[in-house]
Amino acid sequence: MSRQAPSGRHGDALAGRVTASFGRNYEVVVAPETPDREVLKCVARGKRHAYACGDEVRVERTSPDQGVIVALEPRRNLLWRSDAFRQKLIAANLTQIVIVVATEPGFSPLFISRCIVAAESEGLATVIVLNKADLADRLEAARAQLAPFSQLGYPIVETNALGDLAELTRCLAGQRSILVGQSGMGKSTITNTLIPEAQAVTAEISTVLDSGKHTTTFARLYGFEGGWIIDSPGMQAFGLAHVTTDALLEAFVEFRPHLGQCRFRDCRHDAEPGCALRAALEAGEIEPLRFIHFHTIRAEIESAERQARGW
Ligand SMILES: Nc1nc2c(ncn2[C@@H]2O[C@H](COP(=O)(O)OP(=O)(O)OP(=O)(O)O)[C@@H](O)[C@H]2O)c(=O)[nH]1
Ligand SMILES: [Zn+2]
């Protein structure tokens, strides 16, 4: 029996998953969950298509190790980087975003809020990894910094990437995760410990670039424990320019009970009288830090909007 493509038009095409993208070239794993699994170097048919790691696609083979992507299965969700002018796809079909921070060097709580906004606005779960938990003298301070997030219910997994990652493995098993983190948090060490194949890939790239440093330069998907993991490069520019103000408010989960309760329907939640969010802030129901994060991210989004319109 031949494989049936859902559209019918690509009946001879193979089902595959995008595991890396380099400009207009893609790496696609065909029959990813089977012993017939193989990797094809692919190009996209047509100019307007762009694919992301995690995309489920149909490919037509053009040589033993090459193919053309001819169709895209519907995406469950999509993460991208965006600023006023550009959007770059990062990952599709995720179940969770895993944010790696560490006891040292210092991390940015705003970076965490940004990642959470991306996760919430795409309906994804968030997990925070506190790495280098073995550096005991820094641990309490880092936990205190993460307290506002754990109070919101975001799980925090403490790890020592140089040791045992059993708890993190349980958290990742069966999930489709993207690992994000600022530089130096130990994300590469975690990836290399979890996925020996990743070590080989980064080593190869480091040799090619003669950098000697194992730095992630592009997103790559690896199969892991019944799911998969995308290791992504440092995501300082985790753009949120495409998120609307309403979606941003919803993405701050602690704001939700108060939305629609302000005196003015167009309340900016700055200094207006009768602002329900300010009242919740003053009542201690909203962390001041998170309130600041909201305003910071909204200002960025609005500034990107103005730039995009050429104001
Ligand atoms: N003590 C301790 N050191 C760690 C741990 N994880 C990573 N390190 C060290 O922290 C440094 C940074 O780790 P990397 O894995 O390169 O960090 P990264 O987040 O991938 O950083 P970039 O490659 O810049 O993106 C390295 O010297 C690691 O050996 C940990 O759990 N405990
Ligand atoms: Zn308000």
Q: Ligand 2 centroid vs 264 CA: distance in angstroms?
A: 7
Which three-class secondary structure state does DSSP give residue 189? helix
Ion ligand 2 residue ranges (Cβ < 5 Å) = 262, 267, 269, 275, 277
- Among 188, 195, 201, 218, the mutation site with the greatest number of ligand 1 atoms within 8 A of its Cβ is 188
- What does the alpha-carbon distance between residue 249 and residue 295 come to, in Å, rounded to a whole number? 10
Contact 43, 59 (CB under 8 A): no
Give residue 102's pLDDT.
Answer: 97
What type of residue sits at position 107?
Answer: F
Helices of type H across the chain: 109-121, 136-151, 166-172, 187-194, 196-209, 245-251, 276-282, 288-308
- What does the alpha-carbon distance between residue 241 and residue 158 come to, in Å, rounded to a whole number? 31
Give residue 216's pLDDT.
Answer: 52
- Residue 233 CA, closest ligand 1 atom number: 25
Give residue 33's pLDDT.
Answer: 81
Q: Ligand 2 centroid vs 269 CA: distance in angstroms?
A: 4
Contact 105, 114 (CB under 8 A): no
Q: Which domains does the chain have, with CATH numbers?
A: 14-72 (2.40.50.140), 92-231 (3.40.50.300), 245-308 (1.10.40.50)
Span 204-246, pLDDT tens digits: 555 554 444 445 567 899 999 999 999 987 655 566 888 899 9
Give residue 212's pLDDT.
Answer: 46
Give residue 232's pLDDT.
Answer: 84
- Residue 234 CA, closest ligand 1 atom number: 25
How far, in Å, are 50, 185, 277 from residue 134 at the CA level? 42, 13, 38
Please give all residues whose beta carbon lies within 6 A of any atom in ligand 1, as ranges. Answer: 131-132, 134-135, 160-162, 181, 183-189, 215-216, 234
Give residue 237's pLDDT.
Answer: 55
| pTM of the complete model | 0.90
Residue 159's nearest CA partner among 78, 85, 120, 102 is: 102
User: Dihedral through CA 298, CA 300, CA 301, CA 306, nearest 10?
Assistant: 120
* Low pLDDT (below 50) residues in the chain: 1-8, 209-214
Contact 158, 151 (CB under 8 A): no
Give residue 123's pLDDT.
Answer: 94
Residue bearing tokens 């602690």:
254
Give this complex's ipTM.
0.95
- Ligand 1, atom 20, lies closest to the CA of 188
Give residue 190's pLDDT.
Answer: 94
Span 153-166, pLDDT tens digits: 999 999 999 998 99
DSSP per position, 2-46: ----TTSTTTTPEEEEEEEEETTEEEEEESTTSTT-EEEEEEESS
Beta carbons within 10 angstroms of residue 53's beta carbon: 27
Contact 278, 310 (CB under 8 A): no
- Ligand 1, atom 8, lies closest to the CA of 186
Give residue 234's pLDDT.
Answer: 61
